[in-house]
Amino acid sequence: MKMLSWLADRFAWQAAEKTLDWDAGQEMSGDEEKALVAFIQLEEQDVERRDSVFKKALKQIKWQANKLKFRKIVLHSFSHLGSHANADPEFAWEFLNDLAERLRKTGYEVWITPFGYTCDITLTVGGAPIARVWKEI
């Protein structure tokens, strides 16, 4: 798993182009302020080590969000962070939903950008050193 996360002053998204034959009945746009935005690439190798990857991702997201007391989180599936083969879309969708549910249970507001679509995005990030973090799990 690879994750590029931002402590965004503002993150807005709008579904642009469908890339997967996928219909999850999801919201196609959103606009949040003071949110941690995690661009996540799940890889084939993550399937076998799901529990470990899940725990580390959860810990990383909470750690970074808590640094600036952000309580909003946006998860964005982004399959172009690395050169490894992507995980199956069903696995990635389930993983993101499980991650969102776990975060919600601990008091965060969580959104998942439209899965299976490219998105038009607006991203505004401040200059705090912890505002941009790359993590390979």
Task: Give exposure, 91-113, as e/b (b: 16+ Cβ within 10 Å).
Answer: bbbebbeebbebbeeeebebbbb
Quote the pTM value.
0.95
**CA atoms within 13 A of residue 26's CA, in its CB half-sphere:** 20
Locus of tokens 């309580």: 71
Domain boundaries, the chain: 2-127
Write down the pLDDT at residue 24. 77
Q: What is the pLDDT of residue 82?
A: 67
Name residue 32's beta-bridge partners. 11
pLDDT of residue 25: 82
Segment 28-48, tens digit of pLDDT = 999 999 999 999 999 999 999
66-70, 80-84, 98-102, 115-119: the lowest-pLDDT one: 80-84
Class for domain 2-127, per CATH?
alpha beta
- Mean pLDDT confidence for 11-37: 93
Kindly list the distances between the CA atom of residue 21 and the CA atoms of 4, 70, 121, 131, in Å, as whole numbers in the listed order.
Answer: 25, 33, 21, 34
